[in-house]
Structure 1
């Protein structure tokens, strides 16, 4: 276990260890599996290893947990009944799919009259949390059925039974759509390993050394995956710091790093305490704050000394100011900036930075700066692929690629330009399931026999979409022919 405090060169240590293992001939590059939490971290790790070694190693496996599980399931998922072409749903995709099949959930407690789908997003997040803990729908149902409620607890028990039933329904909907959500990627990989030990043994022989980055942010299912892969040789390197755990809200279990010594008693410890990023004043202030997490800290439980020492020379100062509200804090921060600019006229607005824990916390600052005419740039970490216009364009592209992609069709039909009534969307989705067709392949005459549709010109809307798709597919086919002919002509030159 490498305990790497903030700014201590964690990535450098991981990449140098990978390079050392290869250079010493202890393992082949193809026998190393490095697991990270972001694509950016995986790419950076590969790039650094490539620079350290005299020649490139294209067979080095550096993946996020989800990318690794996707790769395993596409290769071996048929062993447990998964098709190789399964789709991976984002949180928004999963919500759209669930909403399109909303009636199948048969909700009562979680279906308020005024807004039937109000709790749907929270339900999906609850199911995601269950998957992070390795809980299958049948496990959840068994747990609820084993409860023996008192007369006063009958309503609560019925609520839990509804949750268990809804979880099972959600998984059935995913299965029908040939889709997995992110939690399902890891859950089904665990299922594969446990039910098909031959597959697990194949991967154990393939990956003789495993490294895990940001180990403190692994959840129960991810740690179980690592433990299964690492047996029996236990050539495992984990890098993390319990004081830097930031993903508990999405299932990360700080217990993983705290109990690591119990499960791997022969593990060696390397503690990195030299910080290359900050001045000592910042490190001391942070160390003082983190003491409030005691006694649930690695330092207290194991006696490891983790206090960081700065390599940089002393500079600047840290001041802790407590305000009564966010609005008061924004005013106080702006006053401090104005005072600093008054003392130092060369201090530009662009030389000042304000960090907040969440995007919502920035709102009072932005509003105040707008009111006071202060120039600012708000850099939110909302990715490009969650912007509605990008999601809409992606849905169109998905339909062009696969007109039977009902989740994408549902998003397109939900766009205000079609003026589609929500109730009609649900009816269409229900009819598509009954007819065994995609939303675009529906027989609308059959639907008219069952429902009085509330959307004017519904047939016209679907015709326009089909016309657009037909035109785009013709263009795509023409481009393919041109590309094929060009390749043929180039081959003659």
Structure 2
């Protein structure tokens, strides 16, 4: 392997990095704590740093780089960027996972290190407990007055074994009953991710050799969205890695901390910098938004952190007229009608529907009910990304690796020439064929020939199969047979469990079945599957990590946003995060009939965001 000298290395796939990003990238002798504000390109920065470390040999084989993200799509996006910039033999040494997937991987591979009385069976299932389920358990153990959230936090924050954790007798009794119930009172053992975290921590304490092996394998660790790290997650990092010897790069922004309700640490960056002796660097460029929009973003950012530095806007304004405004309607009916008319006019003027996003604070299903018919009357589809397809949310399904792989092959079956789908299908199949050497030209030709064969088989089948629910199910089944279910399940650690694999496959079948409705061709059905020419509807929290030309906050009034008030720091953070998803424009609808104005927020935004009667 020929390496590039650090002095001669240049960014891959982009023109350049801002000076501060260069500084953070070249710091490899100590950990760095990188504050990356909205639009700073933190994912691109992490991809460039990983590429730099691999291509210069600063992370030599067989050592690997571990990247931990909080969302599956972010982890996949980061892995794809590194794979596009590095040769396969280097990209294979970059491991990108969510924190939950990483801990689950450790449990599945090293669970034998857990003492027998706490070791879960191999066929355990992942579960997500609701507040009602926790309340039912607490009633069953004669503790109905205990807050379910308190129990949840106790499970996540208490190390195993419980009898050595120094707990009060009643707390110990409840937690022991909880673990027993999760192991024994269902057909299969049920584990939550906080439980998995505690089990992995026990395995590490029981087997120091495991800790040494992980430190040797991953001397470099990248941490994305670090502001949302929970205390148990940070504790596990401290157990696995030597905080002064491992070279960390932690990236995030305290102004974008929106997971406090889920246990995100207070002062995560300060704790990290102290524990690792990290160098602190702030990125200033905003590559997403133009200067006028960045000025409004700074008003909100300064309310969160008065010391925040103004961002350097690098986006280009390409729209005329208002770039932000509060549209005030008298009634709900006027609000919906005016919004539908405005969106229809924008689409008629050339703005693709999928470049528009509508955000709701909560109760997305109610917003869908209010808007969908009005938009449909104008020939516009509204896509509720929060709704479930079986046991998986639509937005999560679209981020699944399995979805990405199958969609690439389906595109090849529907259309003879699709270079992007071809490249993704070949890359995916090479990754699935673990017995092949990606550096071997014969292996690459073998994979290319197989892609051709699978595409030809699919093309033949899709040319005769009806564009219908029956045809959709048959095509997905055929594709599974052609690629091989075993290979597909090896594509991700989570798919090795039957329940998770089935959950995603069922979701894919359901979405493709829906997408065939009124579609004339398979290409049209796949466009609907992906959400092309559909307006995205989602919660504010789910907008994190995304980007749209135009964002519309539906119902920014003191009813829908009752929790957005002075002193509610996390609500203002969430508002800031959502506002900064906009590349060109961000608008708000406000309805006098529903709730009226949020006066303090309008005073904060001032003349930068004018109030306009709507219609």
TM-score by length of 2: 0.49
Task: Please give the alpha-carbon distance, in whole angstroms, between the structure 2 residues aligned to 1:357 and 1:314.
Answer: 26
Is the 8 Å Cα contact of residues 78 and 84 (structure 1) preserved in structure 2?
no
CA deviation vs aligned residue, 1:7-40 (integer Å, no higher than 9, x gap): 2221121112112112222223542211112222
**Matched residue of 1:13: which SS?**
helix
> 2:365, 2:384 within 8 Å by CA — same for their partners in 1?
no
Aligned to 1:109: 144
Unmatched 5+ stretches in structure 2: 1-32, 394-480, 486-615
Larger helix share, 1 or 2:
1
Alignment partner, residue 2 of structure 1: 34
2:224 is the alignment partner of 1:213: yes
Q: C-alpha root-mean-square deviation of aligned residues, in Å?
A: 4.0
Q: Could you tell me how far 1:288 is from its partner in structure 2?
A: 1.1
| Larger proportion of strand | 2
Q: Name the CA distance, whole Å, in 1 between partners of 2:332 and 2:257.
A: 26
Instruction: Determine the structure 2 residue equivalent to 1:170.
Output: 178
Q: Do the aligned residues in 2 keep the contact of 1:94 with 1:181 (CA within 8 Å)?
A: no
Structure 1: runs of 5+ lacking an equivalent = 111-118, 146-160, 389-478, 484-493
SS at match of 1:269: strand
Structure 1 SS opposite 2:258: coil
Which residue pairs with 1:27 in the alignment?
59
Q: Give the C-alpha shift of residue 203 in structure 1.
A: 1.3
Asked if 1 retains the 8 angstrom alpha-carbon contact of 2:75 and 2:96, the reply is yes
C-alpha contact 2:284 2:312 (8 A) present in aligned 1: yes
**1:53 CA displacement:** 1.4
Deviation at 1:364, TM superposition (A): 4.5
Q: How many residue pairs get matched?
A: 351
- Aligned partners of 1:217, 1:320: CA distance in 2, in Å? 30
Partner secondary structure for residue 88 of structure 2: coil
Shift of 1:134: 4.9
1:165 CA drift (Å): 3.9
Aligned residue number for residue 378 of structure 1 = 383
Structure 2 residue aligned with 1:252, among 258, 261, 264?
264
Q: Which residue of 2 aligns with 1:335?
A: 338
Return closer, same or farther for 1:376/1:43 CA change in 2, 3 Å cut-off. Answer: closer
* Offset of residue 214 of structure 1: 1.2
Higher relative contact order (CA 8 A, sep 6+): 2
2:80 aligned residue: 47
Is 1:262 matched with 2:283? no
Instruction: Check if 1:129 corresponds to 2:153.
Output: yes
User: Is 1:242 aligned to 2:254, yes or no?
Assistant: yes
**For residue 233 of structure 1, what is the aligned residue in structure 2?**
245
> Which range moves more in the overlay, 133-142 or 165-174?
133-142
Deviation at 1:358, TM superposition (A): 4.1
Question: Once structures 1 and 2 are overlaid, which stretch shifts more, 186-195 or 349-358?
Answer: 349-358
1:89 aligns with one of 126, 144, 160: 126
After superposition, the Cα gap between the structure-2 partners of 1:84 and 1:20, relative to the gap in structure 1 and judged at 3 Å, is farther
CA distance in structure 1 between the partners assigned to 2:44 and 2:106 by the alignment: 28
Partner of 2:94 in structure 1? 60
Shift of the 382–371 alpha-carbon distance from structure 1 to 2, 3 Å rule, reads closer
Higher Rg: 1
Cα separation, 2, equivalents of 1:291 and 1:383: 37
Instruction: For residue 168 of structure 1, report the CA deviation from its aligned partner.
Output: 2.8
Give 1:103 deviation, angstroms: 9.3
TM-score normalised by the chain length of structure 1:
0.60
- Cα distance between partner residues in 1 of 2:52 and 2:352: 46
CA distance in 2, matches of 1:15, 1:144: 46
